[in-house]
Structure 1
């Protein structure tokens, strides 16, 4: 589910609370894993060629971007802190949240490895208490939902920002008020299940965009809620931009797998190395 920033995971105290506070919904209740995650993990592994091949860089800058997708579940054996810092962070969380935290760290390490980057031992938080402190020269993004964690990682020299989001739980249509801006009429009239599915995809796409934009834009121009992000449907996903910075447009990919929606966005770094 929620995390933010180009190297972020959403939660000094708890990532669900961080995300829900920015949407004005209050802390989210702790939800148990839906299942062992094995079916969804198989489906997400099958999507790896699609996700890791999402390279927006022009051919003139050389080989494709080394993008790694890491996966983990709270039910995996041997899940535990990698050192004393992670152990202290886990101790401050409820048991369910601590398992999500550990699965997220394992997914991040796997993503780093698949991207050909140094695999961190411990992954503490940055000074802001929200974003994970990844190894120098790397960027990443993390999400977890229903007991499954997904992470993306890439070299910072070639990637300015990443955003990824996984949503396994349905959203009520009443959540549209914290997802859609007043000018967005994106939920057509019709059958309830289809409208709820579209709302969940919109929510996830804006979450991914929120995380990437957090790493791309200075504080005055960053969105502070999902309503501060505008989207437009395109083949394979959405285009998204901060209402305060409409010139920076992201492409957010969207795929459904075993009743869950995965969205992600990759922002390349220009050849001159600027953001």
Structure 2
């Protein structure tokens, strides 16, 4: 489903099955979850199996996908990508680095955020924008979409900037037609001769999920 908001250059593999994952991963991956609860093990394996399928479709040998700095997935050389999982859904979106600079995806349940979370992640101007959006489209869980989009922003940002980006350090603006923009409010790194001052992305609410995606093109 998340492939609907990503370009054709991205290979996306998603899984909505709730069946336990019995296939084992590489030993180095299994070691990361050896003491985790069963739910965590299931999600970890399921999303990496999605990533394996995407790598295969890209013609890249399957290899362990281990977390690097700040937990960012360590993709094979020449690959960019992003993974996400939530209750009842997980997905991996990958592309050759010659086609895109970075990808960020996120999936969340399409329901309101727990009490207090919105105030913790949203900037004052974003709260104002969300109130206006809610008046226009009360059927959309705008608070959850904001959370999801900020996750996608971070996932797209970190591989390029290599520095942490807090929720308060990006200001997001949504439209009601499935798009959003993110203005980064910290000093922007230079990437391919241009400042990484923000992103454009897409959002989708369908089948009980709030989905967001960002694909960062190469400089023209």
**Interval of TM-score (by shorter of Structure 1 and Structure 2):** 0.7 to 0.9
Residue 92 (str. 1) matches residue 35 (str. 2): yes
Alignment of 1:137 with 2:78, yes or no, is yes
Structure 2 portions without partners, runs of 5+: 189-194
- 1:180 pairs with 89, 97, 122, which one? 122
Pick the aligned partner of 1:161 from 93, 98, 102: 102
Compared CA separation, residues 117 and 227, structure 1 to 2 (3 A): farther
Q: Which of 133, 137, 151 does residue 92 from structure 2 map onto? A: 151
Q: Is the 8 A contact 2:20 2:42 kept in 1?
A: no
**Conserved? CA contact 2:56–2:62, under 8 Å:** no
Cα distance change of structure 1 residues 113 and 243 upon mapping to structure 2, 3 Å threshold: same
Task: State the TM-score, normalizing by the size of structure 1.
Answer: 0.67
What is the aligned partner in structure 2 of residue 40 from structure 1?
none
Per-residue CA shift, 1:122-151, capped at 9, x if unaligned?
A: 32233x361222211101101100032111
- TM-score norm. by structure 2 comes to 0.82
1:187/1:195 contact within 8 Å kept? no
Q: Distance in 2 between matches of 1:259 and 1:74?
A: 14
The residue that corresponds to 2:191 in the other structure is: none
In structure 2, do the counterparts of structure 1 residues 218 and 132 end up closer, same or farther at CA, with 3 Å as the change threshold?
A: closer
Whether 1:208 aligns to 2:152 is yes
Offset of 1:112 from its aligned partner?
Answer: 2.5
What is the rounded CA distance, in whole Å, between the counterparts of 1:202 and 1:75 in structure 2?
26
Aligned to 1:262: 211
Is the 8 Å Cα contact of residues 166 and 263 (structure 1) preserved in structure 2? yes
Distance, in Å, in 2 between the alignment partners of 1:173 and 1:112 is 39
Equivalent residues of 2:21, 2:46 under 8 A apart: no
Residue-pair matches, total: 208
Asked if the contact 1:117–1:154 (Cα under 8 Å) also holds between the matched residues in 2, the reply is: no
SS of the residue corresponding to residue 135 of structure 1 reads coil
Q: Where in structure 2 are the equivalents of 1:24-63 lying within 5 Å?
A: 44=1, 48=3, 50-52=4-6, 54=7
Structure 1 CA distance for aligned equivalents of residues 199 and 63 of structure 2:
32
Give me the CA root mean square deviation.
Answer: 2.6
Distance in 1, Cα, partners of 2:17 & 2:73: 19
How far apart are the structure 2 equivalents of 1:164 and 1:255? 11
C-alpha deviation, 1:78, in angstroms: 5.1
The 8 Å contact of residues 103 and 214 in structure 2, kept in 1 or not, is answered as: yes
Q: How many Å apart are 1:176 and its aligned residue? A: 1.5
Using the alignment, how far apart are the partners of 2:52 and 2:119 within structure 1? 36
